[in-house]
Amino acid sequence: MDSRQVYTGMDVGTAKPTLRQQKRIPHHLIDILKPDEAISAGRYRKLALEAVESILARGKRPIFVGGSGLYVKAVLKGIFTESKTDDRIRKKIKEELKEKGSVALYNRLVDIDPESAVKIHVNDVKRITRALEIYEITGKTATELYKNQKTSPPFPYRIFVLNMERENLYKQIDSRVDKMIRDGLVEEVKWLLNSGYRRDLDALLTLGYREVVVYLDGQCSKEEMIENVKRNTRKYAKRQLTWFRNQLEATWIDVTPGAAPMEIAKRIAGELDD
């Protein structure tokens, strides 16, 4: 359940499961699109439900793992009927983005749909653009549409959120970013750009990639780039946890640094057996 692991060539920056991990446990909805192909919540839901049907037919239990909250809601609640795209409107908004910048678009979203805006970072141009596009297509805000949306979970489910004390979480994030740099995040972004993918591609405007593009364009030092990725990831994690608390009916599992994955899995399995 990750909006970027669907893309080929975006491995390091998305912390994609390794090939060895994918051989041990079958994974789905990874490496199914090229970075310049569009993925929406509606399309993700369709692909996810097809995967679930296939897994259940084999007598297995599907497990969704990831942090894309919009995709969680899409799978469990469906997509409001007005959820459409319009290339003309999207192009117009992107031109406005180039001309005025993300802050101007964000401020417009604040005026139109403050409830959506508070959940979106000022630099998250993909979500800002989509929220404005929905409003211009339907005349209604995304908040209005979601509130009127009928809940229709397609299968029984339980949601678990792994939670860590804030200071330890931030240390984990910093260590993960350092590892991504060692594993070749900068080289990965160079490869994507050299492969002909545009700098303003939605996939490359996401966390971890946009900061490296700025660095490669000579607008900051490598040290500044690394610190920007860490800072923006910490902010994102904070917003993500707030969203989970407010939007999901979930069981929270407190974990400590260094906790063995198998031990955490056993705790979750114990909850499922209750």
pLDDT of residue 84: 65
For the chain, how big is the Rg over CA atoms in Å? 19
Confidence of residue 82 (pLDDT cuts 50, 70, 90): low
Q: What are 198-241's pLDDT values in tens digits?
A: 888 888 989 999 999 999 999 999 999 999 999 999 999 998 89
- Topology (CATH level 3) of domain 158-274: Helix Hairpins (1.10.287)
Q: Where in the chain is the domain with CATH 1.10.20.140?
A: 87-147
In angstroms, the CA 89 to CA 73 distance is: 25
More confident residue, 141 or 274: 141
Superfamily of domain 1-79: P-loop containing nucleotide triphosphate hydrolases (3.40.50.300)
b/e 73-86 (16+ beta carbons within 10 angstroms → b): bbbbbbbbeebeee
Q: Where in the chain is the domain with CATH 3.40.50.300?
A: 1-79
CA distances from 169 to 80, 120, 253 (A): 34, 21, 14
83 has a pLDDT exceeding 70: no
Give bridge partners of residue 33 from the DSSP assignment: 7
In angstroms, the CA 154 to CA 157 distance is: 9
Report the pLDDT averaged over residues 43-56: 93
Q: What are 52-67's pLDDT values in tens digits?
A: 999 999 999 999 999 8
Confidence of residue 168 (pLDDT cuts 50, 70, 90): very high
pLDDT of residue 152: 66
What is the value of pTM for the model shown?
0.76
Confidence of residue 88 (pLDDT cuts 50, 70, 90): confident
CATH of 87-147, one of 1.10.287.10, 1.10.10.60, 1.10.20.140, 1.10.510.10: 1.10.20.140
CA dihedral sign, ordered 191, 93, 38, 88: negative
pLDDT of residue 94: 86
In angstroms, the CA 206 to CA 77 distance is: 25
254 φ, ψ to 5°? -80, 130
Q: Where in the chain is the domain with CATH 1.10.287.890?
A: 158-274
